[in-house]
Amino acid sequence: MLNILSGIAITSLMVALSIYLPFIGFFFSLFIPIPILYYRSMLGRSNGLTVLISTVFVLFVIMGGISVDKLYFFELMILGFILGEFLELNFSINKTVVYTCLVVFFTSIFGLTIFSAFTHADINTLISEHVAKNIELTIEFYKEVGIQEDAIYILSNSIEQIQYVMVRIIPGVAIVLTLLVIWMNLLIARPILAAKEIANPAFKTLKLWKAPEYLIWVLIGSGFLFLIPDTFIKVIGLNILMILITIYFFQGIAIVSFFFQKKRFPMLLKIFLYLLIALQQILVFVVVGLGLVDIWLNFRKIGLKNT
C-alpha cells in the first residue's frame, strides 16, 4: 500500500510541477510516464493501474473540468502504463515503440472526439484554438526574456499563417513528440529498472538499433510528395518527412551512444555532449545524417571490427 501511495504522490507532484511552473513545466511533463512505468513494472498491472487512475483523479482536482491540456497529461500517463505492458511481454524495441505510439495516437483521437462532443465544437476548431493560444503564450515568453521587438512584431503579425501551417502538421508533430517522449523515457527508465533487477531484452539492443531498410524508400517518396505544388499532398509529405527524420535521428543517436560506450567517455562528458546535440540545431541534422548514411556504411559494424 505504501508503494502505491508513493507512486500516486510522485506522479501527482510531477503533474503539479508541469502545470504550475511556467514554460519549464512542459519539460517536467515529458517525464511523467517514468513513475507510471516504474510502478507498473514494480507493482504489477492492477496496482500500476491504481496509481494511474488515482493520479488522474488528482489531475481533475488540480485542474477541474475537462480540457485539452488535461487530455495531454492523461495520454502521458497512458504512455507510461502501456510501455510497462509491452516491456513485460518482452516485445522487441520496434514493437514496443510503434505499438505504444499507436495506442497513444488513437486514444488521443478518441479523447478529442469525446471532448468535442461535450463542448459542441469540432476537432479542427479545438486544435486551432489550442495552437493559437500556445503561439500567444510563446510571444509573451519572448517578451519576458527580452527578445528583440522587431522579431516579436513579425511573429505577432504572422499568427494566422503560423496557425494555418501548425494545424495541418499536427498529426506529424503529435507522432514525433510521442516518439521522442517514448525514447527519452525508455533511456531514463533503463538504469532505474535495472537497479531493481527488472530487465528487458529490448534495452540491450538500443545502442545497436537501426531503422528497417525499407523506410529509406518511404523517406524518398515523402520528399517527392513535399515537392508537389498541391497543398494537400505537400502537407502529407511534410508530415511523413517529420516522422521519418525523427526515426533516423534515433538511429544516429544510437550510433553516437555506441561510440561513447566504445571509447568509454566519462558520464559527465556524455551528458554535456547529449545536451549540446539537443541545443544545437546543426548537430541535430548531423545526427540525422549519421542515421541515414549508416544504411550503407554500417558504422557500428566498423566499430566492432576495430575492437
**Where are the chain's structural domains?**
1-204, 207-307
Q: Look at residue 305 in the predicted model and tell me its pLDDT.
A: 56
Residue 301 has what pLDDT?
75
Amino acid (one-letter) located at 266: P
Q: Which cell goes with 206?
A: 538500443
Rounded-to-integer distance, Cα 47 and Cα 189, Å? 19
Task: Give yes or no for residue 203 having a pLDDT over 70.
Answer: no
The pLDDT assigned to 14 comes to 87
Q: Which of 1-5, 67-71, 139-143 has the lowest mean pLDDT?
A: 139-143
Look at residue 24 in the predicted model and tell me its pLDDT.
79
Calculate helix-pair angle for 45-63, 33-43, nearest 10 degrees: 150
pLDDT tens track for 84-140: 898 888 888 888 899 999 999 899 888 888 878 777 777 777 777 777 777 777 777
- Per-residue pLDDT, averaged over 277-302, amounts to 85
CA–CA separation, 202 and 193 (whole Å): 13
Nearest of 79, 305, 75, 29 to residue 183 by alpha carbon: 79
* pLDDT value of position 166: 81
Q: What CA–CA distances, in Å, run from 275 to 4, 112, 208, 270, 283?
A: 33, 34, 21, 9, 10
Task: Write the pLDDT tens digit of every residue in 265-288.
Answer: 888 888 888 888 888 888 899 999
Residue 307: per-residue pLDDT: 54
pTM given for the model: 0.85
Please report, rounded to a whole number, the percentage of residues in the chain having pLDDT higher than 90.
Answer: 20
Higher pLDDT: 200 or 188? It is 188
Cα torsion angle, 10, 15, 19, 22, sign = positive
Residue 65 is predicted with a pLDDT of 66
* Res 158 pLDDT > 80: no
Mean pLDDT across 204-212 = 80
Q: What average pLDDT does the segment 194-220 reach?
A: 79
Query: Mean pLDDT over residues 213-223, rounded?
Result: 91
* Rg, the chain, Cα only: 21
| Chain segment 13-55, per-residue pLDDT in tens | 888 888 887 677 788 888 999 999 999 988 888 888 898 988 8
pLDDT for residue 101:
92
Q: Give the pLDDT score at 59.
A: 81
Q: Is the model's pLDDT at 161 over the cut of 60?
A: yes
Residue 251 is which amino acid?
Q
